[in-house]
Structure 1
Amino acid sequence: MTLVTDTAVKALVHSTTTTQVRARYEGSNICTWIGFKHVNYLVEEAVLDHFRQAGLPARALYETHGLGLDLVSIDSRILHAFHMDDVADAEVEPWTKDGDATLGFRVTIRFERDGAIHKAVTAKVRVSLRIDTYLEAAGEVPAALARYAVATLGDDLEREPATAAPAEDEILASLTAGQNAYAWKWNIPYPYCHFTERIQMSGYLRLMEEGKDRFVADRGISIKTLLDDRRWIPVVPRSDIRILDEALMEEDLYTVYTVEEVFKDFTYTSRMDFYVLRDGNLVKTATGRIVHGYAVIENRRDWSLVNFDQRVVDAIEGKAS
């Protein structure tokens, strides 16, 4: 039996869909605002529902055709803050072009507040269909989806060559040498993975959030420090992440958080690179960027953006106070 009909694939790559989304309670960590990670989860859910509405849900693609639905790229801008209990409409518009090896979608999320409709999030997403090799083969990939199917995530890209790794106890130092960076080693647990083998997009989003937390703590301006000192909270107007290769369950993942630019004492951009050690080489499995600013909590409902002071700038730039 096949799910993949001409009608279903046509709907997937040509039709626009809309679905209601609501952020999870877990994402409200400070007052009632929803963090960037959970906003990106809304983008992911909208894309998954687009597949459902086309008649090609992720579960059935895997169980029937052995195709794992993997979001391999999310580039999102947050234009208005989500609050706990906000219900939004997420519109998914296909933007797959002729010759593309991935399925592309534009996602726009809007909500109503105080009688006005606000465009809260815009995002671009790329999806690959990963051919399952953990279990027995499921047969031929349906012809209509074959161009989007890959044996390994990142096969659609021209990958960076792997580099010979130094001794394991020197890897973190080698990855941060001469950079305004922080790095750590971490063993990938199964809750960050899917389809039995590999870390999934939501896992990388969690690591991007953790990278900020680790970096500012290392620089003496931890999240709680600035909350207690001045009621400042980090805000993220933009983030992007691209999976380049696969990182597997229980592999050691080396994550590098590098500050690239401080813009007018108002935001700073950090790059995040992820590597695994494989056959004596460092293999880059993902890369992304995250833009951070700070806001001051005015009351239980409102916050406003603030400029960095010298203490924060020095910490971000790695200068001794």
Structure 2
Amino acid sequence: MTTKSATGAEAAVRALGQPSTLEIRPRYEGSNICTWIGFKHVNYLVEEAVLNHVRGAGLAPGTMYEVHGLCTDIVDIDTRILHAFHIDDTATAHVRPHRRAKDGELLLAVELHVERESALKAVTSTVRLQLRHDPRGGGELPVPAALRPYTVDRLAARPGWTPEPPGADPSADDLVKELTAGRNAYAWKFRIPYWYCHFTERLQMSGYLRLMEEAKDRLVADRGVSIKTLLDERNWIPVVPHSRITVLDEARMEEDLYTVLTVEDVFKGFTYTSRMDTYVVRDGELIQTSTGRITHGYAVIENRRDWSLVAFDDRMNAALKGRSPAAAGGRPV
């Protein structure tokens, strides 16, 4: 099936409405603790399932870009992890149009299943795609009419919530302090490298997932309860049942990205939710490029195969509230 003709594009759009299935294994890189696969690489499985779906419909991302100058971008990914994946697992991914999809939306529902004693639904995810037209390079064929409803000139998914305004002065000498003033938050400045980008210059969803993982690592280390500290002293590891990232605007290679992680809610002393917001300063204005949420708990490693969720102790609760570790009897790092 070709995207070079109107009939081919129309047939491809119709094919997107059909379900697809893929068998896939998690990448070895994602097995960070024992044999369990972290949330970032679970999202990578979801991403691969979505890319397989559009390829099967005849809209392969490489061809779409080379022929029509269309960049296939994930602009919203909302993933719940119901059962843990291990490194040798084979995931069976099922992708279909989401029941809430409207005309002109590429909104997909993804389920990942894994075999245990029986087949288990391990992951559910909702993914929004956009086709971002890129004039760089030139010479491509016009965008087929059937694809125009899904085509944008600038990435900007509709957010699922309204982020709080940062209330920060973009000209401040220390914008990191401005963005965290009066908040239970941690922030840092990061120069966007080319390997976080795709289609030449824009930060891609996998880059935001890396930043979300790093934000957690930085926040707990700053508060004296680093991941290594709790592993050594409690045999605890972080676990993630839910994550979401929404692109609000484009972030570009070599811009300074300000990432802010704000602790929001602690649920029954077992899990907590943080909000991640990212900003760039462009033309003297502070522009928010993404927002997201991630839920963390802690599990104790029982053996090389099993773990169980644990309640936060006083030290962890104090850290999540932004108090010094010493106030809860802990040691600063």
Quickly name the TM-score band, shorter chain normalised.
over 0.9
Partner in structure 1 of residue 68 of structure 2: 65
Partner in structure 1 of residue 90 of structure 2: 87
1:225-275 deviation per Cα after TM superposition (whole angstroms, max 9, x unaligned)? 000001100000000000011000000000000001111101000000000
Q: Is 1:150 aligned to residue 179 of structure 2?
A: no
Alpha-carbon shift at residue 130 of structure 1 (Å): 0.3
Q: Which amino acid aligns with 2:86?
A: H
3-state DSSP of counterpart to 1:5: helix
Distance 2:56 2:253 in 1: 31
Alpha-carbon shift at residue 140 of structure 1 (Å): 2.4
Partner in structure 2 of residue 10 of structure 1: 14
**Cα 1:16–1:266 shift into 2, 3 Å:** same
Superposition misfits of 4+ residues, deviation over 6 angstroms:
155-164
Distance 2:135 2:92 in 1: 36
Partner in structure 2 of residue 128 of structure 1: 130
Task: Map 1:148-297 to 2 at 5 A.
Answer: 148-154=150-156, 165-297=169-301
3-state DSSP of counterpart to 2:304: coil
Partner in structure 2 of residue 107 of structure 1: 110
Alpha-carbon shift at residue 6 of structure 1 (Å): 2.2
Partner in structure 1 of residue 43 of structure 2: 40
Percent identical pairs in the alignment equals 61
**What is the aligned counterpart of 1:312 among 306, 311, 316?**
316
3-state DSSP of counterpart to 1:42: helix
Distance 2:234 2:315 in 1: 12
Decide whether the 8 Å contact of 1:101 with 1:156 is kept in 2.
no
Distance 1:156 1:135 in 2: 29
Alpha-carbon shift at residue 137 of structure 1 (Å): 5.3
**What is the aligned counterpart of 2:28 among 17, 25, 28?**
25
Distance 1:157 1:260 in 2: 18
Distance 1:296 1:156 in 2: 38
Alpha-carbon shift at residue 56 of structure 1 (Å): 1.1
Alpha-carbon shift at residue 133 of structure 1 (Å): 2.4
Decide whether the 8 Å contact of 2:158 with 2:248 is kept in 1.
no
Decide whether the 8 Å contact of 2:168 with 2:179 is kept in 1.
no
**What is the aligned counterpart of 1:78 among 59, 77, 81?**
81
3-state DSSP of counterpart to 2:173: helix
Alpha-carbon shift at residue 178 of structure 1 (Å): 1.0
Distance 2:57 2:157 in 1: 25
1:32-91 deviation per Cα after TM superposition (whole angstroms, max 9, x unaligned)? 100000000000000000011111111111111110000000000000000011101000
Distance 2:103 2:208 in 1: 24
Partner in structure 1 of residue 331 of structure 2: none
Distance 1:168 1:135 in 2: 37
Distance 2:104 2:181 in 1: 36
Decide whether the 8 Å contact of 1:162 with 1:284 is kept in 2.
no
Partner in structure 1 of residue 330 of structure 2: none
Alpha-carbon shift at residue 174 of structure 1 (Å): 1.3
Distance 1:140 1:157 in 2: 30
Distance 1:127 1:148 in 2: 8
Distance 1:212 1:306 in 2: 18
Distance 2:314 2:131 in 1: 47
Q: Which amino acid aligns with 1:109?
A: L
**Cα 1:156–1:148 shift into 2, 3 Å:** farther
Q: Which amino acid aligns with 2:130?
A: S
Decide whether the 8 Å contact of 1:162 with 1:283 is kept in 2.
no
Q: Which amino acid aligns with 1:214?
A: R
TM-score by length of structure 1 reads: 0.95
Decide whether the 8 Å contact of 1:150 with 1:156 is kept in 2.
no
1:181-201 deviation per Cα after TM superposition (whole angstroms, max 9, x unaligned)? 000000000110000010000
Distance 2:277 2:45 in 1: 24
Q: Which amino acid aligns with 1:61?
A: M
Which segment is superposed worse, 93-102 or 269-278?
93-102
3-state DSSP of counterpart to 1:39: helix
Distance 1:238 1:24 in 2: 20
3-state DSSP of counterpart to 2:182: coil
Decide whether the 8 Å contact of 1:96 with 1:102 is kept in 2.
no
Segments of structure 1 that go 5 or more residues without pairing to the other structure are: none
**Cα 1:293–1:156 shift into 2, 3 Å:** closer
